[in-house]
Chain A
Amino acid sequence: VIIVDDHLALLAIAGRLPDLGGGTGPVATTYAFQFRLARALTTSSSSGALTARVVDPLTAVRRVLHPPANRLTVLDPRRSLDQAIAVSGRHRANLLLAELVGAAVQLDASVRVTAPNVGPRWPAVMAAEGVDFATVDA
């Protein structure tokens, strides 16, 4: 499994994922990243960007809320709750990072994110937890 951030998740839904630089298996994202993405899509700014591209924003939101599983799956946060709590305790990670790393640990998954979505402590946390982590140009 390769777990991606909201930016890459949207590209996955669109069937336009860039090279993820290694990592194998299906592409997935976390509930927190899906939430961030869906929330952004409902704002006037994003809606405007889509409307300008002749797309109904509601259709886009539906696509993000219910992505085709052959392109992107959304991980159930309850399955990795134990690991997420442990990560949060060890690294004082917030929900976004704890869920991401917890899911990666639980699934032995790779994590790929875009550079603007890398927090200052993320590489060290990923390394400490033994997660295959890299940034991807999108």
Chain B
Amino acid sequence: VYGAVYAPKVRRTNVYLSEDEQMALDALAVAEGSTRSDVLRSIIDREMNLTGDADPALDAALADAAGEIAAQARALSESDPDLSIG
């Protein structure tokens, strides 16, 4: 299902896996009707927070407000001996 709804541009990469890791990947792939590569990609995406769809509006808003938010972070940390700029 993962591969059907999300088809990123992929590049061939060789990785060394233990027998247990390969067996686990294959078991999950069979259970999900998927492939070892799809299962591995979904695990990496989940672990690396790459699963969220691209959100250009959120990116633009964060970039636009970054200065304001950074100033707020400084103000909140000003009297904090651990987190102040000093």
Contacts and interface: CB of A to CB of B under 8 A. Distances in A.
Interface stretch (B15-23, B31-39, B66-74): B66-74
B68 A46 contact: yes
B62 A60 contact: yes
Nearest to A93: B86
Contacts, number: 124
Given A40-B70, A116-B70, A55 B82 contact: no
A123 to B, nearest CB: 12
A14 B59 contact: yes
A11 B66 contact: yes
Interface of A is mostly: helix
Interface string A58-79: 0110010011111000000000
Contact of A32 (B76, B81, B82): B82
Contacts of B62: 10-11, 13-14, 16, 50, 55, 60, 63
B70 A6 contact: yes
A66 B46 CA distance: 10
B69 A14 contact: no
Given A10-B70, A36-B73, A41-B69, A55 B84 contact: no
A84 to B, nearest CB: 12
Interface of A: 5-7, 10-11, 13-16, 32, 35-37, 39-41, 43, 45-46, 49-50, 53-55, 59-60, 63, 66-70, 94-97, 114, 116-122, 138
Interface of B: 48-50, 52, 55, 57-74, 76-77, 81-86
8 contacts: A14-B60, A40-B72, A43-B72, A45-B68, A45-B72, A46-B65, A46-B69, A50-B65
